[in-house]
Amino acid sequence: DAALAQGRASGKATAALVLAPEGLPDLADRFGPEAQDIALRRVVDRLSAALRDDDVLGQLVDGRLAIALSPMRRADLETLLQISGRALDALREPITIDGTTAYLSGSAGFCLQSRCPDPTGAALLAAAETALSEAQSNGTGAIRAYSAEMQKAVSRRHDLREELATALETRQIRPWFQPQISTDTGQVTGFEALARWAHPQRGLIPPVDFLGIVLQAGLSSRLTDEMLFQALSALRAWDQAGVHVPSVGVNFSDQELRDPELVDRIRWELDRFSLAPQRLTIEILETVVSGADDDVITRNIAALAQLGCGIDLDDFGTGHASISSIRRFTVRRLKIDRSFVTRVDRDREQQNLVAAILSMAERLNLETLAEGVETAGEHAMLAQLGCGHVQGFGIARPMPFEDTIGWIHRHREKLAQAASLGRQAG
């Protein structure tokens, strides 16, 4: 408050800077609880030396440090980025404890007086803390300046978090379905269930905008239950409508796969719908399989395969699953990531990569599906290379359940037409 008043009187401006040191708990683990205090003390000494006499340095909770800069003539973005950079350098200098060298790292957020939503010290500090949490969500060593949009993004995320539980209760979150077809027969071989939030005010929200919030709110298993229930309902409805959809794929996060009750939950749901386990495909990211040192994950996947569910290795090619882990997890199908599929018909390098994946899959007796197929050219090339199934905007975009039956009928008609044209031509 004093710096703001002083700034106003002298035509200069202040700014607030907040630093979050990282690595303090590690120091406590290595050197004992006093080590945190020793390290913080060093950091504070170095920072004080780097700051001007009238700057105010204070400690917030959790070891975070706040600086109120005494008013400057050039309190602009560039100057503050420089000051923040120097402060982080001070944080990163080696610290000697008990004759051993230790290192801290950290992130920084700041707010310029001119950008502050309210002319008070408290508001300036709060804005700098908002910028800091944005910096932290970008990883270690980041610096962020507060902006009004940032506040909107933060409060939007906050609002969504509040609304999430209700959204799950009231079925605002539902799967949309994207077809998968055989390159051999053209028939539908399955649908992937992809989460969509039909928000009453904001419209349709894609999963990238809410999956993180689901995770943070600890609602992953609620989401999966919901997706599973609605995917199985869809299978039953397709059966009742007399359209043949062999299987539906549901995405499972690693958090979900760590649930010791997962297999029982799935078995129970399948029983309740009287559906054979083969009708459900579990999509697991390759990165989850390659990083799975977790016993529960390994056992869950094996048990689901044992039960008869198909296991799809999602985004294949972006992780580094070993061949032995593909075997151990009894994976049924590789879902070749979109990054390999794009321009496969025009780019020799892409073709070689896809061909290599396909021949490995064949030797290992695995099925294959290419995702993100956008053009007829890509589709034709994948068929020619021997990829078993395709999925992507080129076949159809994800659609609400209500549209699926009509789409399947139209797709069948197209197939029949193509076949009769083929006969005429032949």
Residues that bind Ca ion (CB under 5 A): 251, 283, 314-315
Instruction: Single out the segment in contact with ligand C2E by CB under 6 A; choices: 65-73, 207-215, 260-268, 404-412.
Output: 207-215
Instruction: Return the number of the residue (71 or 249) whose C-beta is nearest ligand C2E.
Output: 249
Task: Please check whether residue 375 is in contact with residue 350, taking contact to mean a CB–CB distance below 8 angstroms.
Answer: no
Should residue 227 be labelled a site residue for ligand C2E when binding is judged by CB under 6 A? Answer: yes
Residues in the chain: 426
Looking only at the bridges linking them, the beta strands covering 367-371 and 333-336 are: parallel
Should residue 281 be labelled a site residue for ligand C2E when binding is judged by CB under 6 A? Answer: no
Give min distance, CB of 30 to Ca ion, in A. Answer: 40
| Residue 325 host element (H or E) | helix 323-328
Instruction: Return the number of the residue (180 or 325) whose C-beta is nearest ligand C2E.
Output: 180
Q: What are phi and psi of 398, to 5 degrees?
A: -55, 145
Distance CA 178, CA 280 (A): 15
Distance of alpha carbon 12 from the chain centroid: 43
Q: Which does 104 bind (CB under 5 to 8 A by kind): Ca ion, ligand C2E, none?
A: none
Site for ligand C2E in 157-186 (CB under 6 A): 178
DSSP state of 51: S
35-38, Cβ contacts within 8 angstroms, sequence gap of 24 or more = 35/97, 35/102, 36/63, 38/95, 38/97
Q: Which does 398 bind (CB under 5 to 8 A by kind): ligand C2E, Ca ion, none?
A: ligand C2E
Should residue 345 be labelled a site residue for ligand C2E when binding is judged by CB under 6 A? Answer: no
Should residue 314 be labelled a site residue for ligand C2E when binding is judged by CB under 6 A? Answer: yes
Select from 7, 277, 372, 388 the one that contacts ligand C2E (CB under 6 A).
372
Q: Where are the beta strands (DSSP E) in 241-378?
A: 248-251, 280-285, 310-316, 333-336, 367-371
Site for ligand C2E in 95-124 (CB under 6 A): none
Should residue 207 be labelled a site residue for ligand C2E when binding is judged by CB under 6 A? Answer: yes
The residues that bridge with 172 in the sheet, in sequence order, are none
Tokens of 216: 């943070």
Instruction: Return the number of the residue (55 or 192) whose C-beta is nearest ligand C2E.
Output: 192
Should residue 339 be labelled a site residue for ligand C2E when binding is judged by CB under 6 A? Answer: no
Select from 37, 82, 384, 393 the one that contacts ligand C2E (CB under 6 A).
393
Tokens of 271: 């029983």
Distance CA 93, CA 28 (A): 18
Give min distance, CB of 72 to ligand C2E, in A. Answer: 45
CB burial readout 42-80, b (16+ within 10 A) else e? bbeebbeeebeeebebeeeeebbbbbbbbbbeebeeeeb
Task: Please check whether residue 54 is in contact with residue 70, taking contact to mean a CB–CB distance below 8 angstroms.
Answer: yes
Should residue 212 be labelled a site residue for ligand C2E when binding is judged by CB under 6 A? Answer: no
Give min distance, CB of 411 to ligand C2E, in A. Answer: 16
Give min distance, CB of 325 to ligand C2E, in A. Answer: 19
Instruction: Single out the segment in contact with ligand C2E by CB under 6 A; choices: 85-93, 105-113, 203-211, 271-279.
Output: 203-211
Tokens of 32: 């004992």
Instruction: Compute how many other C-beta atoms are within 10 angstroms of the C-beta atom of residue 255.
Output: 14
Instruction: Return the number of the residue (134 or 314) whose C-beta is nearest Ca ion.
Output: 314
Distance CA 348, CA 191 (A): 30
Residue nearest ligand C2E, Cβ-based: 392
Give min distance, CB of 371 to Ca ion, in A. Answer: 5
- Binding-site string for ligand C2E from residue 234 to residue 273, where x marks contact by CB under 6 A and - marks none: -----------------x-x--------------------
Instruction: Single out the segment in contact with ligand C2E by CB under 6 A; choices: 48-56, 301-309, 344-352, 369-377.
Output: 369-377
Should residue 79 be labelled a site residue for ligand C2E when binding is judged by CB under 6 A? Answer: no
Instruction: Return the number of the residue (141 or 186) whose C-beta is nearest ligand C2E.
Output: 186
> Under 8 Å CB-to-CB from 94, ≥6 apart: which residues?
101, 102, 103
Instruction: Return the number of the residue (106 or 317) whose C-beta is nearest ligand C2E.
Output: 317
Q: Which residues contribute to the site for ligand C2E (CB under 6 A)?
A: 178, 194-195, 206-208, 211, 227, 251, 253, 314-315, 371-374, 392-393, 398
